[in-house]
Amino acid sequence: MIAILDYGSGNLRSAQRAFELTEQRVILASTAKEFLSADAFVVPGVGAFGACMSQLESIGGKEMVSEAVKSRKPIFGICVGMQILFTSGSEKGNHEGLGYFSGEVSQLTAPVLPHIGWNDVDTKSQLFDGVQNDKFYFVHSFAAKERVEGADIAWTTYGEKFIAAIERENIFATQFHPEKSGDAGAKLIKNWAKSI
Amino acid sequence: MTLAKRIIPCLDVDQGRVVKGVNFLNLRDAGDPVELAKRYGLEGADELTFLDISASVDARSTTLDVVRRTAEQVFIPLTVGGGIRTVDDVDQLLRAGADKISINTAAIKRPELINEIADRFGNQVLVLSVDARRAESESGFEVTTHGGRESAGLDALYWMQEAVTRGVGEILLNSMDADGTKTGYDIEMIRAARKEVCVPIIASGGAGKLEDFSAALDAGADALLAASVFHFGAFKIAEVKGFLSRAGYPVRE
């Protein structure tokens, strides 16, 4: 069973449907008991970094994510759900993140923002087996741009280079939205689910 | 490594059916929205847009149902517009499965709505839909309401800039002069908008032949929206993408 952390962060229905393609049962969970009963976890996130962090804190989500990390079970962070795993974010003021990856999430330098649409991902990670030449759907203005040694498994360029996917031990996270990336996203989700 | 130019079929939905007319008049039935959405998803649409053009308030629940059923089956981004007046309307649509929301008249009447939606859900969910036409205003383009029949008394370029400052993440620029005519996008209007705003621009209104799509990209559009040419089978999405790809534009194939 996969639990998607529901902390009031927008559209979770399509995320739920996309993760159901793995043939696992998928629940939306807003309490520690429900969330931590799963075999794998999804941490979504839309909106601003700081707003996401405070919504997360309001349901005790920091502790839930921390327990999920300790459990050694697979975790999948999406978009701002990836960003908040970093040290800090500078969207609408400076905000502290969960600190699992070192680095700051800062605004992209590009003539047109947000970065919206389908872009390439440069990766050799096995999680992208079968979709390494496919495009994925991005919607964001902020990103992690510094190297995270041994974890920054995929990069994309829009104005400048940024981390498109990161992986360390049981944590995997993408800046793009796999649940909105059609067949390529579905394949990536299925690849990830093999570790459940 | 390049961001693809997006091709977005637009489904005008009236009480649960897709319709399309010329200059917003003479509406023709074009099918079931969920079936069309699925078909376009399979054919390679990069996003989908639903515009709820129903006049009645009861149509709201029909729209939510259409959004819900579509989001269950189509895993590409879905934008929904039409009749959105409050943050609660946005919340309901997002919960039903919409990824982005487009607002138009309600923002003209009360621009603070833009700030309220952007503060709660982020700029990336909010598309400003601008129905513009040529007129004797400062930029030469003015905003209209009521499907292009009335002037909003607002310069189109000025309005787009204000909306971006307030927090819209994208602009859907619909030419009321070109809508449904298949005589090409309003290139000058796209070019003028591109100079003034730094968020993505979705060009809309007038697509009729393949060259129209590339001309809009040359003028600075980031995405291309079209309805009639797809609904009535003039082109398949793959044909448009194939044409653009051969002409050297980045697309997702």
Residue A13: the pLDDT is: 82
Q: At which residue do the structure tokens 């927090």 appear?
A: B167
Q: Is A169 a catalytic residue?
A: no
**Domain containing A187 — which CATH number?**
3.40.50.880
Q: Is A95 a catalytic residue?
A: no
Predicted confidence (pLDDT) at residue B109 exceeds the cutoff of 80 = yes
Task: Note down pLDDT in tens along chain A; length 196 residues.
Answer: 999 999 876 678 888 989 999 999 999 999 999 999 999 999 998 888 888 899 999 999 999 999 999 999 999 999 999 999 999 999 888 999 999 999 999 999 999 999 999 999 999 999 999 999 999 999 999 999 999 999 999 999 999 999 999 999 999 999 999 999 999 999 999 999 999 9
Residue A172: the pLDDT is: 98
CA distance A17 to chain B (A): 6
Residue B56: the pLDDT is: 63
The percent of residues above 90 in pLDDT, for chain B, comes to 70
Predicted confidence (pLDDT) at residue B14 exceeds the cutoff of 90 = no
Among A3-12, B108-117, B237-246, the minimum mean pLDDT is found in A3-12
Contact A85, A173 (CB under 8 A): yes
Which of A103-112, B18-27, B85-94 is modeled with the greatest confidence? A103-112
CA-nearest residue to B169 within chain A is A114
- Radius of gyration, CA atoms only, chain B: 17
Residue A94 is encoded by which pair of tokens?
Answer: 């400076």
Residue B75 is encoded by which pair of tokens?
Answer: 């895993």
A185 chain-B contacts, CB cut-off 8 A: 75
Mean pLDDT of the B226-230 span: 84
Residue B136: the pLDDT is: 93
Residue B95: the pLDDT is: 85
Q: Provide ipTM, 2 decimals.
A: 0.93
Residues spanned by the domain of A115: 2-193
CA distance A70 to chain B (A): 30
Instruction: Write out the E strands in A108-187.
Output: 115-120, 122-123, 135-140, 142-144, 154-158, 160-168, 171-174
Contact B4 A137 (CB under 8 A): no
Residue A3 is encoded by which pair of tokens?
Answer: 């639990």
Order of strands, edge to edge, in the sheet holding A171-174? A26-29, A2-5, A40-43, A75-78, A171-174, A160-168, A154-158, A122-123
- The model's pLDDT over B134-185, given as tens digits with 9 standing for 90+, comes to 999 999 999 999 878 899 999 999 999 999 999 999 999 999 999 878 899 9
Q: Classify B50 in phi/psi space as left (phi over 0), alpha (psi -120 to 50) or beta.
A: beta
Q: How far is CA B233 from CA A16, A72, B7, in A?
A: 33, 52, 15
Q: What is the mean pLDDT of chain B?
A: 91
Instruction: Write out the E strands in B3-125.
Output: 6-14, 17-22, 25-31, 48-52, 78-81, 100-103
H helical segments located in A47-165? 49-58, 61-70, 80-83
The pTM (predicted TM-score) of the whole model is: 0.95
Residues 4-33 of chain A whose Cβ lies under 8 A from any Cβ of chain B: 10-11, 13-14, 17-18
Listed in sequence order, the residues at least 6 apart from B43 whose beta carbon sits closer than 8 Å to its beta carbon are: B236, B237, B238
Residue B62: the pLDDT is: 85
Q: Please give the tally of structural domains in chain A.
A: 1
Of A9, A11, A157, which to mutate for an interface test with B (greatest number of B Cβ within 10 Å)?
A11
Of B3, B66, B102, B197, which to mutate for an interface test with A (greatest number of A Cβ within 10 Å)?
B3
- What is d(CA B239, CA B236) in angstroms, rounded to the nearest whole number? 5
DSSP 8-state secondary structure symbol assigned to residue A180: G
